[in-house]
Amino acid sequence: MQDIRSLNEMIRQESQFIDAITEEVRKVVVGQQHMVERLLIGMLTGGHVLLEGVPGLAKTLTCKTLAKSLSIAFQRIQFTPDLLPADLLGTMVYNPRDQSFSVKKGPVFTNLVLADEINRAPAKVQSALLEAMQEHQITIGDTTFKLDEPFLVLATQNPIEQEGTYPLPEAQVDRFMLMVKVGYPTKAEELAILNAATSGYEPEIKAVVDGERILRARKVVQDILIDDKLKQYIVDVVFASRDPKAYGLSDLADFIQFGASPRATIFLTQAAKAHAFLRHRAFVIPEDIKAVGLDVLRHRVILTYQAEAEQLSSDDVVQRIFDRVPVP
């Protein structure tokens, strides 16, 4: 009991900087608490985040504001149809003076990458990010370079525009820990946005956290307690997406083509721990798992054509799984 209390107190102290970051972001971003928290979860776990929403919902603004509140290197890359892999990673440059090649590093050599409108670039450009996202390294020519830590990719995409876009390869989508659906603000929030946008006042964002503090927080998040029963619950949820009949979900069997991979089990656990950290708690509760469940699983459960004919989304299917799998 004493160990839990001391751990709780330590988590409470170590997580204080989260409030400072949130306060800075709120100077510019009105509402969108769900998106801001998911970006913080990615930062605390090293998990990449994909934001999906219609234009004008402050996806890019939120990422840029978060970057300003962190004392780390930041690069925004605007993805376009004519972008080349070398534009991201860098290339070998020939120097005729001494007849040798040297490496010119691309913008991915940073701490925080914003891949804006990632689905506007061809698959070969999107795939160029895979090594960086998974191994935190980049190979140019015959040389491999380790990326500085912390390293995190935040990406945005527009779900309603199809012309001039390229769907992300499944291998890359699975690299994103979270896929966040960004929604519209409330009436009160929109009025606050209007007042802020027409006031002529531009708030100053201060960098309140450095890279070392983020890396230390990631280690602390790993120490957050999660009961074995909750681990089993996470495994049951993931397995229910692969074999719904075994969990009394026969009505979903014809709608799921592929269930979530083991990466989902790992990410769901890590994200639940980070969610508890945001709440200044030293232990995971079932509500933490359910809170991040849709964001972790929606892009990992692949539906059949029959599900599309029934107008079922992956969110609908994942929500049914959470509703039916017993909570310990």
Q: What tokens appear for 70 in the block?
A: 């962190």
CA 172/CA 190 separation, integer angstroms: 34
Rounded CA gap, 199 and 208, in Å?
A: 26
Q: 203 with 212: CB under 8 angstroms?
A: no
Q: Is residue 9 scored above 80 in pLDDT?
A: yes
Task: Tell me the C-alpha distance between 31 and 189, whole Å.
Answer: 6
Q: What is the DSSP letter of 118?
A: G
What are the structural domains, with CATH classification, of the chain? 31-194 (3.40.50.300), 224-324 (1.10.8.80)
Listed range (1-5, 180-184, 198-202, 299-303) with the worst mean pLDDT: 1-5
Helices assigned H by DSSP within 27-145: 33-45, 59-68, 85-89, 123-127, 130-135
Q: What is the pLDDT of residue 163?
A: 66
Q: What is the pLDDT of residue 5?
A: 80
Run of H or E including 22: helix 16-26
In percent, the amount of the chain with pLDDT more than 70 equals: 98
pLDDT at 293 over 80: yes
Q: What is the pLDDT of residues 130-187, one digit of tens each?
A: 888 889 999 888 888 999 999 999 999 888 766 667 778 777 788 899 999 999 999 9
CA-wise closest residue to 23 among 71, 85, 86, 66: 66
| Dihedral sign from CA coordinates of 208, 213, 219, 224 | negative
User: Residue 143 has what pLDDT?
Assistant: 83
In this structure, of 23-32, 99-108, 142-151, 218-227, the range with the lowest mean pLDDT score is 99-108
* The two three-digit tokens of residue 119, written as one number: 């689905």
- Position 162 scores a pLDDT of 67
pLDDT score, position 2 = 47
CA separation (Å) from 316 to 65, 234, 256, 298, 320?
Answer: 32, 18, 11, 9, 6
Q: What are phi and psi of 174, to 5 degrees?
A: -70, -20
